[in-house]
Amino acid sequence: MVDDISHEGLRILLRAEDVTFQRLKTWKASKDPRYAAKKARIEQLYAIADREVTPADDDPEIVFCVDELRHSGASPMLAQGTPLHVVSEVLGHASIAITKDVYGHLLEGDKRAAAQSMSRALFGG
């Protein structure tokens, strides 16, 4: 049983079993005049990463999505004491509740430390 796996980790496991899957891609509107070209390039890079197309000579051999590294970034930020609202903003979550739901299990040590700190303040020691 796997408790937690990244999008890329899932993709690797499924690829090993010759299974493909559709991931949801959402796009925000933009006033950037080069938006369509940039979006097309990103979609092309996803296709390369998913081995749906063969890279051209000027394309990268390895493609990864920084978005897939969120957990790798959130974990050390929280471990170093970065406030949850700051991590939420860095990750681009719509609300701090999303960040807490996804990464709250990483804060259990903070709860223990807070309880110990309160105990020392109230009872000395």
Judge whether 82 and 65 are in contact, CB under 8 Å.
Answer: no
pLDDT at 56 over 60: yes
Q: How far apart are CA 35 and CA 105, in angstroms?
A: 37
Q: What is the DSSP string of the chain?
A: --S---HHHHHHHHHHTT---PPP--------TTHHHHHHHHHHHHHHHTTSSPPPTTS-S----GGGGHHHHHHHHHHTT--HHHHHHHHT-SSHHHHHHHHGGGGHHHHHHHHHHHHHHHH--
pLDDT digits (tens, 9 = 90+) for 68-102: 666 678 888 888 888 999 988 888 888 899 888 88
Supply the pLDDT for residue 68: 62
Supply the pLDDT for residue 60: 82
Supply the pLDDT for residue 85: 92
Q: In which band, very low, low, confident or very high, does the pLDDT at 16 lie, cut at 50, 70 and 90? A: confident
Residue-range domain boundaries for the chain: 1-21+33-64, 69-125
pLDDT at 25 over 60: yes
